């Protein structure tokens, strides 16, 4: 199923409004969690490049998906999005654990 619009339009057509809302909620929680982990790091921390790299990869995928439909058209692109999101969340979780913050859902 290929659409000519943006990925968010394609997702809303294929998964309805609830699927789109769930997708956007997962992305928002990911970036909040990443930001909180980044604020805990010292400037010379060894995990900072990984944290920022995974965040940039997910942001780039979502930004390109907002303007083009190819993110959902190619299965490998979707796999890379979820892989980057998972690795970024794991890195952020390691940072939270190093600093004694075990509750990731505090906003």
3 state DSSP class of 101:
coil
pLDDT in tens, the chain (107 residues): 444 445 655 666 666 677 778 888 999 999 999 999 999 888 778 889 999 999 999 999 888 877 776 666 777 888 888 899 999 999 999 998 888 766 555 55
Q: What DSSP designation does 69 have? A: S
Longest pairwise C-alpha distance within the chain: 46
If you search the block for the tokens 């995990």, which residue do you land on? Answer: 47
**Nearest C-alpha neighbor of 50 from the set 103, 89, 81:** 89
Report the predicted TM-score, pTM, of the whole model to 2 decimal places: 0.75
């Amino acid at each position: 199923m290929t659409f000519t619009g943006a990925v968010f339009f394609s997702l809303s057509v294929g998964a309805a409004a609830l699927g789109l809302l769930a997708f956007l909620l997962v992305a928002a929680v990911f970036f909040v969690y990443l930001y909180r982990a980044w604020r805990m790091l010292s400037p010379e921390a060894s995990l900072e490049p990984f944290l920022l790299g995974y965040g940039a990869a997910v942001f780039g995928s979502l930004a390109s998906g907002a303007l083009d439909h190819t993110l959902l058209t190619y299965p490998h692109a979707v796999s890379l999005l979820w892989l980057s999101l998972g690795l970024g969340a794991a890195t952020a979780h390691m940072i939270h654990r190093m600093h004694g913050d075990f509750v990731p859902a505090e906003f």
